[in-house]
Copies of this chain bind each other. A is one copy, B any other.
Amino acid sequence: MLAYFGPQGTFTEQAALGLGASPDELVPYDTVPAALAATRRGDAEAACVPVENSVEGAVPATMDALTEGEPLVAVAETVLDVRFSVLVRPGGGEVKTVASHPHALAQVRHWLAEHLPAADVVATTSTAAAARAVLAGEFDAAVSAPVAVRHYPLEVLATDVADVRDAKTRFLLLRRPGPPPAPTGQDRTSVVVTATDRVGALSELLTELALRRINLTRIESRPTKGRLGEYRFYIDFDGHVAEPRVGDALAALRRHCPDTRFLGSYPKAEPGGAPVGDEEFVAAAEWVAAVREGRGA
């Protein structure tokens, strides 16, 4: 069983299918923390949740839920273009009302003004709830994730609808800790580091990465809830924990901040950047071993 942030027919379900889940093993949960809790308890083998740049507002919820409670680690990611389908009842006639989540409506405002200028716009609690309401005859059209037509027998009036062409949402597949997926040479590692609020704390951490030529791909700070004077940094960087340079950097972060939590090493959804070799790390470690044993200097 694979838990996901529901309801059925939203982008998160689409992401889970894109990550190789079969439709009959997917179980929707009302919230991101609920999907993660099911995975922590062992009710689900894994959870698929949005982490970045989402249309559905779940990002801080995901980061907080990953940091609190028992550890979970990411084993895969996927990135979806945020492009909506507009769904209507078969033979439904004129579109007088269009429904969706307010975030989705905000992202198709120009499209609606051009293509359905006379339609009233109505909010729903999710893009999938809009599709259900159209099926029930409450509204005439729904702005939904393309996957919604899997669940609701609606007709597709338009696809690929988005005012902003480059909006994307990133999703992670999370499991209880276990051996990470094998390195592919195009991997990402995610960590959350809790640091005391003092001058230079973050600078020291990033210097540890830069000194090892590790490329940062994302950073975000959040104050810790209820613990004044502490900050959390969510950091993504290129590389895999199995690689000597990344293992060495993680050890350095952990020395600085004992609360450092590993959030996973997994293949990048959009590979890019030349892999950095670990030859000088291996050679340097061998040299130190040789010096210690009196075999070199």
* Stretch of A8-16, A153-161, A211-219 with 4 or more beta carbons under 8 angstroms from chain B: A211-219
Known: A57-B102, A102-B57, A102-B101. A203 touches B209 (CB 8 A): yes
Q: Are A221 and B221 in contact, CB atoms less than 8 angstroms apart?
A: no
For A213, the chain B residues whose CB sits under 8 A away are 199-200
Q: Are A123 and B124 in contact, CB atoms less than 8 angstroms apart?
A: yes
Q: Is A189 an interface residue (CB 8 A)?
A: no
State how many residues of chain A have any CB contact under 8 Å with chain B. 38
Chain A 193-236 against B: per-residue CB contact (8 Å), 1 yes, 0 no? 00001111011101101100111101111000110000001000
* Residue among A102, A106, A126 having the largest count of chain B Cβ atoms under 10 Å: A102
Chain A 99-114 against B: per-residue CB contact (8 Å), 1 yes, 0 no? 0011101100000000
For A219, the chain B residues whose CB sits under 8 A away are 202, 219-221, 233
Q: What's the dominant secondary structure at chain A's contact region? A: mixed
Residue of chain B at shortest CB distance from A129: B123
For A184, the chain B residues whose CB sits under 8 A away are none
Q: Are B221 and A210 in contact, CB atoms less than 8 angstroms apart?
A: no
Q: Is A68 an interface residue (CB 8 A)?
A: no
* A209, B200: Cα distance in complex, Å: 8
| Interface residues of A, Cβ cutoff 8 Å to B | 31, 53, 57, 60, 101-103, 105-106, 121, 123-126, 129, 166, 197-200, 202-204, 206-207, 209-210, 213-216, 218-221, 225-226, 233
Can you list 28 contacts pairing A with B, beta carbon distance less than 8 Å?
A: A31-B106, A53-B60, A57-B57, A57-B102, A57-B103, A57-B106, A101-B123, A102-B125, A102-B126, A121-B125, A123-B129, A198-B215, A199-B213, A199-B214, A199-B215, A199-B216, A200-B210, A202-B206, A202-B216, A202-B219, A203-B203, A203-B206, A203-B210, A204-B210, A207-B207, A216-B221, A219-B221, A220-B221
